[in-house]
Amino acid sequence: MLVLTRRANQSIRIGQSVEVRVVRIEGDRVVLGIAAPRQIAVVRSELVAEVTGELRDAADTRARLRVMLTPRHPAGEPRPEPSPEDPGVA
């Protein structure tokens, strides 16, 4: 990993189109300004981890969600699985 030292109002450039500027330093927090083409996603690393975690949660709860989505008979029982001969199932 390349490590650079910058002061407030100094910046670095990444490639031809991305600039990262140190806007100010507040205690242990650094406020950054980032100029990049809009097709380049600029996100916090924590958010990427959270999106991955949400994917895993979604996979883990898929079966539960399917049950919640299953239409029920008047008696409140889930509808039986359709047979392969059911013309409505491809």
Residues near other proteins (CB under 8 A):
38-39, 41-44, 47-52, 54-55, 57-59, 61-62, 64-66, 68-69, 71, 88-90
Among residues 17 and 61, whose Cβ is nearest to other proteins? 61
Instruction: Please state, in angstroms and rounded to a whole number, the distance separating the CA atoms of residues 37 and 16.
Output: 10
* Minimum distance, C-beta of residue 34 to other proteins, in the bound complex (Å): 10
* Minimum distance, C-beta of residue 22 to other proteins, in the bound complex (Å): 19
Q: Are residues 8 and 22 in contact, defined by beta-carbon separation less than 8 angstroms?
A: yes
Q: Are residues 58 and 66 in contact, defined by beta-carbon separation less than 8 angstroms?
A: no
